[in-house]
Amino acid sequence: MPACSEKKNSAGQSGNRLKTKSSVLDQRRAGVLLHITSLPGDGGGSGTLGHEAYRFVEFLAAGGLSVWQTLPLGPTHTDRSPYQCLSSHAGNPLLISLDWLVDKGWLAKPQNPDRWSSSADYHYHCLQEAYADFQRAAGRTERRAFQDFVAAHDAWLDDFACYMALRRRYENRAWQEWPAPFRDRQPVALEQAQTGLKDRIEQSKFEQFVFFNQWNELRSFAHEYGVALFGDLPIFVAGDSADVWAGRNYFALDDNGQPLVVAGVPPDYFSETGQLWGNPQYDWQRMEADGFQWWLDRLKTQLELFDWIRIDHFRGFESYWEIPADAKTAIHGRWVKAPGEALLEKLHDTLGALPLVAEDLGVITPEVEALRDRFDLPGMKILQFAFDGGSGNAYLPHNHQINSVVYTGTHDNDTTLSWYESLPDDQQQYVMDYLGRPQSGMPWALLQCALASVAHLAIVPMQDILGLGPGHRMNTPGTTRDNWQWQFSWDQLNQERVDHLAHLVRIYGRDAQQT
């Protein structure tokens, strides 16, 4: 394994740095990237916050791993993308453990789900049954806890619950397609909705009460095992979301709520035509005039859930790629300056030191690096991006910095084994020459390289720990089919693999639980 030394980045060195909270990058650590949906399911559905999540924490601790990174937790559209959620505050009700509700006495033992058209329909039916049982059986303390939760989250919960009730009334159509009085949030229409859809609104609030309780219990359990939870915050939000419906004035929209310009990135490693995400762009001038309250509220919710948060597409805080709303690809966009420094200063001054990681991948300029370094935010190093462009490639381990997070790959990459097998022979040889021709082969060779890096945090996707090849990636950027569905099973993980992982974590000084 080659020696790995820190290489200082000159960008932003002249500015004063603002220190972040050091709950994770205070020492060398290692962790795993696995979304909740990728946990083993409970009879046909995706993973949840139930028993398998607790078992996963125990696996992390057994392997000397002290960080669990997930994808965003919000309720998704039918494409299941956690980066296009119906809310940037709410949790996905499909992640709620039904067994937990049974244990609470709020749900009878779930019946056979086969009679339902989908596992999601069955899950929501059980949640409705649980709310009915809660209303009948909950004690005074539980009812008070529910009321306190609703009051504590009133900045977003009322609007979200109303949005979800109206969305259901209008057959899950986007809010821009609702009748104008509801689309435009006319006071009389909203009052009618609050009255006529009261039961459905309260159901949504109950689901969020349950989600946050289950998450907080899991987080407490993880902390008992020395495991920190590392979240992910998309910089943009979905156009069809409670955020945009309730905060329309913060976005660049026309009179009908349709975006004037949308978000994406220019051509890059993942796509020759760029990535057309379609999210509405922010009205940054309005947000700044309001003291960035929208962002303050959003980050407060995430800090309630996570110990550390990755800002997806951080470079959009410095400049964002603005694309005409009617464009078919992301090619014909333009870079527009954003008030990232003012935003981060406001967040820092109001919330204190920020436990954030900057996703600084893609087209990164000295200005973006200066913004990242001004607030002392760790950046990201992806080893799958390291082996082209020569020895100066910033992702090669000898160019890493201590204040960064190294990955073999992310949720947007193929598994390391599949990536390596797809390389031309000469590039495979270069990779193995750089790694010192380890006997372990792929993907463990790259996993070991990540653990050896000087970067204080090393994160490995669960697929790489399991040694999985083609057919096991989580997402293919620029596509909308067959994504976000991957799950592992416990029979893919044997004790020998766990012991070997724990051994590597120890020899590279990343067993934070033993230091």
Q: Out of 159, 412, 414, 464, pick the active-site residue.
A: 412
341 labelled catalytic? no
- In degrees and rounded to multiples of 5, residue 279 shows phi and psi of -65, 145
Place of tokens 């596509």: 479
Pairing between strand 275-280 and 261-265?
Answer: antiparallel
Q: Is the peptide bond before 113 cis (omega within 30 degrees of 0)?
A: no
DSSP code at position 251 = B
DSSP 362-418: SS--HHHHHHHHHTT--EEEEGGG-SSS-TT-TTSGGG--SSEEEES--TTSPPHHH
Geometric angle at alpha carbon 369, from 367 and 372, rounded to 5°:
110
In angstroms, rounded to a whole number, what is the distance separating the alpha carbons of residues 68 and 221?
12
Alpha-carbon span 266 to 275, nearest angstrom: 7
Helix (H, G, I), strand (E, B) or coil at 210: helix
Integer Cα distance of 38 and 394 in angstroms: 31
d(CA 166, CA 120) in angstroms, rounded, equals 19
Cα separation, 111 vs 125, whole angstroms: 11
| 359 is an active site residue | yes
Contact 222, 305 (CB under 8 A): no
Residue 78 is which amino acid?
Answer: T
Choice among 359, 373, 376, 464 that is catalytic? 359
| DSSP, residue by residue, 50-115 | SHHHHHHHHHHHHTT--EEE----SPB-TT--TTSBS-SSSPPGGGS-HHHHHHHTSSPPP--GGG
Torsion region of 496: left, alpha or beta (phi above 0 gives left; psi -120 to 50 gives alpha): alpha
Q: Active-site residue 412, yes or no?
A: yes
Q: Which two tokens stand for residue 216?
A: 């907080």
Task: Please count the CA atoms within 13 angstroms of the CA of 168 that sit on its side-chain side.
Answer: 16
Q: How many residues does the chain have?
A: 515
* 499 neighbors 442 (Cβ within 8 angstroms): no
- Residue in 312, 369, 464, 511 annotated catalytic: 312
DSSP annotation of 129 reads H
| Catalytic residue IDs | 312, 359, 412
